[in-house]
Structure 1
Amino acid sequence: MLEQDNYSKGDMNKEKVAAEEQVDAQNQEVNNEEGTANNEAKTEDQGAEELSTEELSAEEQLKAESQELKEKYLRLYSEFENYRRRTSKERLDLIKTASEEVLKDLIPVVDDFERAIRAEEKEADNEKALEGSLLIYHKLLKVLEAKGLTAMDDLIGKDFDADNQEAITQIPAPTEDMKGKVIDVVEKGYKLGDKVVRYAKVVIGS
């Protein structure tokens, strides 16, 4: 009977140990599964971080490329505008230069017309010739003015201007207030726009 009790107690101890071992094994399995799950979660987090970094890097690269293309466009546009303005100015300068030579050559013709008109005015019986000369003279002046050529008129009594006039001589001023001013115009001056194409030859008072 004692042996049977001892045997039963041994069996019970064995079963208890086996049960404890089974519980430990189950706990170990659960721990392993949790560890695997944690590792998988960490791997997924790392993958998400790497993917996010790659997406951010690609976005930054696209922004940089966009900025570079914008700068290239602005440079090209600026260069084109400068080229357009430069060529327009050169074309206008060429037109002005070409017309300037022709207009300068016509100024002596205008001088001859004025001399002829003054001579005809002295002849009392030459009214029709004077009328014809004045008609042609004024028509010529209108054409020249339309091209930008203008005469420097009404200089007598005004201060001498070295930028537009050339003093060929000085004479004693008839009055005190005429000193340093234009007393007579020997030859008219002309401007093409703002540029002097022929200086006025004047006499000034001293």
Structure 2
Amino acid sequence: MNKENIASETEDIKNSVEGEQDATNSQEVGSEVSEVEKLSAEVQELKDKYLRLYSEFENFRRRTAKEKLDLIKTASEDMMSAIIPVVDDFERAFKANESEEDSSKVREGNQLVFNKFQKVLESKGLKPMEGLIGEPFDADRQEAITQIPAPNEEMKGKVIDVVEKGYTLGDKVVRYAKVVIGA
């Protein structure tokens, strides 16, 4: 073998080793890039999950706060519903006592107790539905027990008489007003 062949073979070996090193380096660089891309994608996915979880929690917090306020507002609804018939009985007793003249002191005492009782109920948010006669029928707040012929055309579909008062607790109807409407 001569020097030229040896130099040529050495050069070939050197080139092949360098080629293998370049291939290895490019694989390492390629694997590093794909590893960085994987980690970046994972970080993005975790950020997305975090944002979704955070917004879900905020919605939950708002919803429970609203439910808590609604519960506080209408916590005494059952008690108010039980007391309303007592108010009705007071009103009926007053109507029955109107005809008797000699029991004015008893009637006056009952009226004082009734007024105090009504003020306590109003302070707790219970309010009677007032001014329904002549107004259009509202199925969300009233219950029609019967229809009678309207005295005139303007009263058709409107409340003619209130048989039993309706009550609201805040904005919620506790008892629907029982009304007679014109047909």
State the TM-score, normalizing by the size of structure 1: 0.65
Q: Trace 1:83-94 onto structure 2 (pairs within 5 A).
A: 84=61
Structure 1 distance, partners of 2:68, 2:147, is 43
**1:175 is matched by which residue type in structure 2?**
N
Given candidates 112, 119, 125, the residue that maps to 1:139 is 119
**1:141 is matched by which residue type in structure 2?**
L
Deviation at 1:46, TM superposition (A): 1.5
Tell me if 1:33 matches 2:10.
yes
Unaligned runs of 5+ in 1: 1-23
Change (3 A) 1:69 1:141: same
Tell me if 1:176 matches 2:153.
yes
Given candidates 47, 50, 60, the residue that maps to 1:73 is 50
- Percent of matched pairs sharing the same residue: 56
Task: Tell me if the contact between 1:185 and 1:201 (Cα under 8 Å) persists in the aligned partners.
Answer: yes
What is the match of residue 203 of structure 1? 180
Structure 1 SS opposite 2:134: coil
Deviation at 1:39, TM superposition (A): 2.3
Structure 2 distance, partners of 1:49, 1:41, is 12
**2:169 is matched by which residue type in structure 1?**
L
Structure 1 distance, partners of 2:65, 2:54, is 16
- Highest RCO, 1 vs 2 (Cα 8 Å, sep ≥ 6): 2
Unaligned runs of 5+ in 2: none
Q: Trace 1:75-154 onto structure 2 (pairs within 5 A).
A: 76-77=53-54, 80-81=57-58, 84=61, 99-116=76-93, 126=105, 129=109, 132-133=112-113, 135-145=115-125, 149-154=126-131
Structure 2 distance, partners of 1:95, 1:131, is 31
Structure 2 distance, partners of 1:119, 1:175, is 32
Structure 2 SS opposite 1:169: strand
Given candidates 161, 165, 168, the residue that maps to 2:142 is 165
Given candidates 11, 18, 32, the residue that maps to 1:55 is 32
Deviation at 1:95, TM superposition (A): 5.5
Structure 2 distance, partners of 1:135, 1:152, is 17
Q: Deviations over 1:57-105 (max 9, x none)?
A: 3223323432443354355446545655665566567656753211111
Deviation at 1:56, TM superposition (A): 1.8
**1:182 is matched by which residue type in structure 2?**
V
**2:142 is matched by which residue type in structure 1?**
Q
Change (3 A) 1:169 1:43: closer
Larger radius of gyration: 1
Change (3 A) 1:39 1:88: same
Given candidates 186, 193, 201, the residue that maps to 2:163 is 186
Change (3 A) 1:144 1:113: farther
Q: Deviations over 1:89-141 (max 9, x none)?
A: 66567656753211111112222344455567776954963773364044223
CA RMSD across the alignment: 3.6
